[in-house]
Structure 1
Amino acid sequence: MEGKSYQRFPKVKIREMKDDYLKFELRDTDASMANALRRVMIAEVPTIAIDLVEIEVNSSVLNDEFIAHRLGLIPLTSDRAMSMRFSRDCDACDGDGQCEFCSVEFLLRAKCISDQTLDVTSKDLYTADHTVVPIDFSDPAGDESGDQRGIIIVKLRRGQELRLRAIARKGIGKDHAKWSPAATVTFMYEPDIRINEELMETLSLEEKRSWVESSPTKVFDIDEETHQVYVCDAEAYTYDDEAIKKAEAVGKPGLVDITAKEDSFIFTVESTGAIKASQLVLNAIEILKQKLDAVRPSEDTEEADDQFGELGAHMRGG
């Protein structure tokens, strides 16, 4: 029998959005969609990272491999990563780094000539391509100290020197964590908490306070005037069942009913800074569409475009 696809139209509601942080609700879908989106954000959205390091001079205390590894982990602005080619697929170069389609070249020249220790940081990496540069984590309102220096690569003492050439390429987190644009991506089922008001009123004020305090996170509270227990922060619930166990311990099973909404998820996305958190989600949706187009029968691709196009439109509209 020919199968018929089940069409869904997920909805997104933005809770909080910063350049490196995004919190949003994903509704009217299931865990497979939520987890697919999460895994694509972590391991499939491409960024640009240093992949090849040619060290000319290194008289620092760190060996060549250590420095090359540290360079690879420096986040680079990757707004054009989606349009770049993977070096393995590029037919316009020989992989030496002189290719505008698949790679970006960096140079670092540092030598300590004073008695003061010299900090070699990500700000000492120079490139002619200003669209791909190390992330600047400095605070515009801050002073010249602290996080204004950039990411420290190595420290040099008097007479020590570091000279190198580095090639940055496009890649994905599945190949190496340095290409992952996500510091963390988590989602939780939205909890549905219902208090049995009639049963609650059979408790004394002290019993109510004891029950409220049984939850390790502040999910419940008491109105000081009416002495009524209410849910103050449902999302703080960690599915620990402590409130349910406490209700059973005082002989009031059914005092509260807590279930997980199976079609509603709360996402928290933190970016490394390579791309904005909001763009990370949009890129993940686009990649998920491409993956589905590759496995769906041709007559179903238009339906997939409708569903994910709707989701992307919600994201762009905020």
Structure 2
Amino acid sequence: MKLTDFSFDLPQNLIAQFPPEQRGQSRLLVLDRMQRSRSHHHIADLPSLLEPGDLLVFNNSKVRKARIYGTGAGGGRVEFLLLKQQDPQTWTVMAQRTKRRRMGTRYIFDDALEAEIIGEEGELRLLRFDRPIDEAWLDRHGHIPLPPYIRREDSPADSERYQTVYAAVPGSAAAPTAGLHFTEELLAHLTERGIESAFVTLHVGLGTFLPVRSETIEDHLMHEENYSIDEENAARIERAKAEKRRVIAVGTTSVRTLESAWDSNAGKLCRGEGATSIFIYPGYTFKVVDALFTNFHTPESTLLMLVSAFADRNFILDSYREAADQGYRFFSYGDAMLIV
């Protein structure tokens, strides 16, 4: 398939630059794959749109303040995005104007922290700091890694709003944004209706948000991301599958975790930690996920390709056009879809 098969036009004013005034106030477009029908709702309607016994699977990874700024020898400010910690002092990073960031170049960060580029991995760099940096340092000096289509600096409010209410395990360089719609009140209403919840962890990195640069999508290689599933949550998901209750993934990262961890021969999920570079695009056969709650995704992204594998590509793109016509807000801070 061609990359352009996943293109669509979107007016700039529909790209949400801020979250809704209150969490959980967004709109919800519901797609029925079999009937090829659409209906318009709000996030608060979700409990009534699901059935008792349904199981929602959330990604509980927590976004770290992974964007930091260093000063080079020439005095200019350079942005780095921390992707993966290799050891207490060394990180894989994405650097601003990557080609200029050469081996041996040194930078000074807040709190007199110094670092040197000690390795190159394609468009990524290995940055070694002169002392370990931890979550406490990042909380003081780092910035929320808002995506580039949000054209503003991060604010203190983003520290809360670009984070799910159930985030528990630090490690993501971007939010699992489908989960941003859920409030404690909504989760309680879902439980009252008999809808169960389970949690997996996938730390969002380049595998999720790196653009596809090959004209033929099958040539795209996904970067590896780490995930984990514990015994209690794996058993809960397996029980739902065995009882033929719907497993509803909240977000594409939950989809990729479930589909990567499923052992088809055993009919079970692999427990513990793992890594995935799974690339899901049209033609893929889903093994675990029966329905999907997700945001609207950027053109030509692997996320849009995953959603187009779950429902027919033309149906998805038609639905995106209708959402745009109806004034839905798009991308990380925008509205949501439920695909059943």
* Fold shared, TM-score > 0.5 on shorter chain: no
Higher relative contact order (CA 8 A, sep 6+): 1
TM-score (norm 1): 0.26
